[in-house]
């Protein structure tokens, strides 16, 4: 089957390769001429036989909206556009309306798998009319993991349902990562635990907390057992925010995912205005000493302001004193993505042409 693919960054490029390995003909367009097969969107359309299927794999927001609008001007009735980026589901309604007015089909497809998808396959979550989903099924089957279709692919519902499902997937991912990270910190703090990477690895077979994320945690700790020089500053891709917004709109209690999102916000603060206010209030009602920022930093380093706080238990103090075990390291900080909520993949506004890069489909 033929496919036009717009955006050939880390994910888009790997998807092209996986599809070609499966015997499909893929014509790719990207602003980077070194990876592109054609030089423009019109050239992409000319290279495909009607009825065409074109997959858009560019950053969410304006780049995707503008690319879809440009395709509306060059495609023909009966053609199909698939948005495989991290678009907000509300954008799908407008894209489908724009293309539908010209009798061009539209499917939204959430994609999970990251850089590992080339060999392992991608989890796919689609929304749209059945006739359009079935049209692209050979492409979906080539991209998804091997095995039963329902274990790597879902036609989740109407237009928008694919990206909505992927949004919730990423919200769950936030909570899972935060739970593993908190467990890591607690194990690191306890002096009787001598092999933290080994503890995580022992969980990877036969336990109820085993998962691919746990496998990746094991890999990260085997490469860097104490996460030395890993900043705790953690971005978010936007989908966690959208998940919490939807929970509020629909009245769904979501304390775990909300807390994991807010923890990422806290990681970006040099100091916490919230806790500054708490310290000031303690000084007002209880006469507790209000420290300066420098005094607080000395306490964090354990070098000053004796008697201002309750000392940690002896076991914890012993472990904290070890120079190779810094505390407060977020286990997933090394994989942080952009915080703008637009993704980071190949593809820009069609005025400048889609750009290359990495579609952030995880969080």
pLDDT tens track for 246-267: 999 999 999 999 999 999 998 9
Give strand pairing partners of 29: 6, 38
Q: What is the pLDDT of residue 354?
A: 44
Instruction: Give the pair of three-digit tokens for residue 32.
Output: 């980077």
Q: Catalytic residue at 239?
A: no
Listed as ranges, residues in the chain with pLDDT below 70 are 303-363
pLDDT tens track for 60-88: 999 999 999 999 999 999 999 999 999 99
Classify residue 116 by its DSSP letter: G
Q: What is the pLDDT of residue 304?
A: 58
Instruction: Give the pair of three-digit tokens for residue 163.
Output: 């990206």
**Rg (the chain; Cα; Å):** 24
Q: What is the pLDDT of residue 262?
A: 92
Residues in the chain: 363
Q: What is the pLDDT of residue 16?
A: 97
SS3 171: helix
Give phi and psi for 23, each to the nearest 5.
95, 5
Q: Catalytic residue at 173?
A: yes
* Half-sphere exposure in the Cβ direction for 132 (13 Å, CA): 28
Catalytic-labelled residue, pool 66, 166, 239, 319: 166
Q: What is the pLDDT of residue 286?
A: 85
> Pairing state of beta strands 53-56 and 80-83?
parallel
- Domain limits of the chain? 2-166, 169-296+309-335
Quickly tell me which residue has 């780049």 as its tokens: 63
Q: What is the Cα–Cα distance from 56 to 11, expressed in whole angstroms?
A: 12
Candidate CATH numbers 3.40.50.720, 3.30.870.10, 3.30.420.10, 3.40.47.10; the one for domain 2-166: 3.40.50.720
Q: What is the Cα–Cα distance from 15 to 342, expressed in whole angstroms?
A: 20
Burial of 113 (0-12, 13-18, 19+ CB in 10 A): buried
Give strand pairing partners of 123: 112
**Model's pTM, two decimal places?**
0.81
Quickly tell me which residue has 């237009």 as its tokens: 159
Catalytic-labelled residue, pool 10, 66, 173, 319: 173
Q: Spell out the CATH class of 169-296+309-335.
A: mainly alpha
């Amino acid at each position: 089957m033929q496919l036009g693919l717009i955006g050939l960054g880390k994910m888009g490029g790997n998807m092209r390769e996986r599809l070609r390995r499966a015997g499909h003909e893929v014509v790719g367009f990207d602003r980077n001429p070194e990876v592109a097969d054609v030089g423009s969107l019109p050239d992409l359309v000319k290279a495909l036989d009607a009825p065409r299927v074109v997959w858009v794999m560019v950053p969410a927001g304006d780049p995707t909206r503008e690319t879809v609008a440009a395709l509306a001007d060059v495609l023909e009735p009966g053609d199909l556009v698939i948005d495989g980026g991290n678009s907000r589901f509300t954008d799908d309604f407008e894209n489908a309306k724009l293309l539908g007015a010209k009798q061009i089909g539209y499917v939204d497809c959430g994609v999970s798998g990251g850089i590992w998808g080339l060999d392992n396959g991608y989890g796919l979550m689609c929304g749209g009319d059945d006739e359009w989903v079935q049209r692209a099924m050979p492409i979906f089957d080539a991209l998804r993991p091997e095995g039963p279709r329902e274990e790597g692919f879902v036609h989740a519902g109407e237009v928008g349902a694919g990206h909505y499902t992927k949004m919730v997937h990423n919200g769950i991912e936030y909570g899972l990562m935060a739970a593993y990270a908190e467990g890591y910190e607690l194990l690191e703090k306890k002096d009787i635990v001598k092999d933290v990477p080994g503890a995580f690895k022992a969980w990877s077979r036969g336990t109820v907390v085993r998962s691919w994320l746990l496998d990746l945690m094991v890999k990260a700790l085997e490469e860097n057992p104490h996460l030395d020089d890993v900043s705790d500053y953690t971005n978010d891709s936007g989908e966690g925010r959208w998940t919490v917004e939807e929970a509020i709109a629909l009245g769904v209690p979501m304390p775990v995912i909300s807390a994991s999102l807010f923890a990422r916000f806290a990681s970006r603060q040099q100091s916490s205005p919230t806790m500054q206010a708490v310290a000031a209030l303690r000084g007002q009602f209880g006469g507790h000493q209000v420290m300066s920022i420098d005094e607080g930093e000395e306490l964090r380093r354990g070098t000053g302001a004796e008697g201002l706080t309750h000392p940690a238990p002896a076991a914890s103090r012993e472990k904290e004193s070890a120079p190779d075990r810094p505390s407060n390291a977020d286990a997933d900080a090394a994989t942080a993505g952009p915080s703008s909520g637009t993704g980071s993949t190949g593809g820009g506004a069609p005025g400048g042409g889609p750009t290359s890069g990495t579609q952030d489909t995880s969080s």
